[in-house]
Structure 1
Amino acid sequence: MLSRRQIEEAYRSACEAEIDALKPGNVHRFADGHRMTIHDFLESARVTAPIVADPIQSPGERILQAVAATRETVRTNTNLGILLLCVPLASAAEGNAANLRGSVGKILTSLDLEDTRAIYQAIRLTSPGGLGSAGEHDVREEPKTGILEAMALAADRDLIARQYTNGYADIFETGVPALEAAVHAGETGMWPTIFAYLAFLSLFEDSHILRKHGQPAAAEVRREAAAILRDLSSEDPEARMEKLLAFDQSLKARGLNPGTSADLTVATCFASELRKMSRAAS
């Protein structure tokens, strides 16, 4: 069991680690993009951290309140995906942080109609590209079933929805291992976060790109990321930076933002930090 202060600290640390890392195609400390700045993301993390870690509120209510606080502060959608992924992790860490994966699975199955209603309202506030109507599960209407059923309908095309249906398997089987393998290999600073990000981008077609630009564009970015990832481990830091910056500029010139991969990276950093805190406390 972790305290509210610890969870809030871990969440802000994860958000800051993600924005500090040179993640091609995203907003990061080395370059803005997509009409957003690092200030937007850092402010979003600051105002949402106390809400994400609030043990009094239900997960759905935390997501809704955090989205509302973000809209009030930065006037844009910087973090819906981050909140959808991180709030269940925060709730899980309040219980059995030592078995975070098992605990988050229990949180997901406990989400009720009130949570679903709040999450639908949060999605309506952000109006993300491509979301809204999904047949019988339309976020513009009153929910008829729980959030897991709604997420199951989107899981084949949305990686965040997929985490709700597979118990965060991609976080714990792709992101966290990539992050921790980089640390064990001696990578420091932003590099473990970059390796986690590229693991997602090279293995999966990014959902945000898929929604906005279609499958061929998402598949091409995945192939490009896989080639970058293969090269990184054998290059010196200066060559790495040049390659990542060139890929970053190429993606932004094409208007391609791998936003879902970034959201998964924040959740990976958050899960890793929560587990580290739990081990330190035991």
Structure 2
Amino acid sequence: MADTPEMLFEHARAAFLEACALDITTPKPGNVSTHSPGHGMHAAQFLASADASLDALFARGARVGQRILDAVTRTRAAVGCNTNLGIVLLVAPLAAALEDTGARPLSAPAWRAAVGAVLSRLDLEDARLAYRAIALANPGGLGDAPEQSVHAPPTIGLRDAMRLASERDSIARQYANGFADLFDTGLAAYREATAQMRGNAPQAAYESAMLNVFLAFLGGWPDSHIVRKHGLTLAQSVTLMAREQHARWRQTPSAGRLATSDPQLDAWDAELKARAINPGTSADLAVATLFVARCVERPG
């Protein structure tokens, strides 16, 4: 039986919270997790941020910019720091597009097409609202640009502004390319991991998928957050290491691929945190991918 709009809406809300929870239950090198805090933050802040931003991101009928601003405002009120700006920027148009998919049950191609339609409608007001959100979150270096800096009022629509930043920021690139990295690279990595982990406990399979998606993004191109904080050369070195670690990890039999039992990844995690290197953009892309993947799967 086809899902009703209400069933789809509730499933999407649950999928978002699940993806955010997997983000911190899965140890990912350089990221905060329940196993390893870092960068002055801890896991409880990320869970609280997901809860705080939920209603804003899934406010039916709201424009994308308003969802972004309200989600960031509520997150700041809940945890007092920037824990989820990248996730919010990615999920807001995805959530808005759910209202336009028409397809029941939801499919990735239908959702992708709806996302494209949502992005094409983004206007100057969306840019104004999103700029306010980015300024409020105050992420170091994000939004600094020779054109359409968030420190000045925008003069173009949000998608056009994101296009200007797309060559230097992977989240902005999703607005420019219709979320191609999520629907192509991200979902492929998710499906690979879940297929290989079939027969294992669901939580282990999903954590394995989260790690596989994260390493696919981190090894695919330099992490934007690392580039902003430490420069391109260091970010490229992290990307190369991610490729090596990912290739090794993928050769591990499924029974030994649980994210909590890889000493080499644990050691790399400690090294990255000791050097204040946080692959935050790769984590944001992974969360958004897991959100999409869990949405297109049937509940249960």
TM-score (normalised: structure 2): 0.89
Tell me the alpha carbon deviations over residues 35-61 of structure 1, each in whole angstroms, 9 at most, x when there is no partner. Answer: 011000000001111111111321110
Structure 1 partner of 2:134: 123
Q: What is the deviation of 1:6?
A: 2.2
TM-aligned CA distance change 1:202 to 1:100, over 3 Å:
same
Unaligned residue ranges in structure 1 (runs of 5+): none
User: Secondary structure of 1:142's partner?
Assistant: coil
User: Secondary structure of 2:229's partner?
Assistant: helix
User: 2:194·2:206 contact (CA, 8 Å) conserved in 1?
Assistant: no
* Matching residue's letter, 2:156: T
Q: Pairwise mapping of residues 159-238 of structure 1 onto structure 2 (< 5 A)?
A: 159-186=170-197, 188-235=205-252, 236-237=256-257
Q: Pairwise mapping of residues 1-282 of structure 1 onto structure 2 (< 5 A)?
A: 2-3=5-6, 4-96=9-101, 97-98=106-107, 99-186=110-197, 188-235=205-252, 236-237=256-257, 241-277=262-298
User: 1:93·1:274 contact (CA, 8 Å) conserved in 2?
Assistant: no
Q: What is the deviation of 1:2?
A: 4.2
Q: What is the deviation of 1:113?
A: 1.3
User: Secondary structure of 1:195's partner?
Assistant: helix
Percent of pairs identical after alignment? 42
Q: What is the deviation of 1:135?
A: 2.1
User: 1:48·1:69 contact (CA, 8 Å) conserved in 2?
Assistant: yes
User: Secondary structure of 2:30's partner?
Assistant: coil
Q: What is the deviation of 1:149?
A: 1.4
Unaligned residue ranges in structure 2 (runs of 5+): 199-204
Moved more, 60-69 or 6-15: 6-15
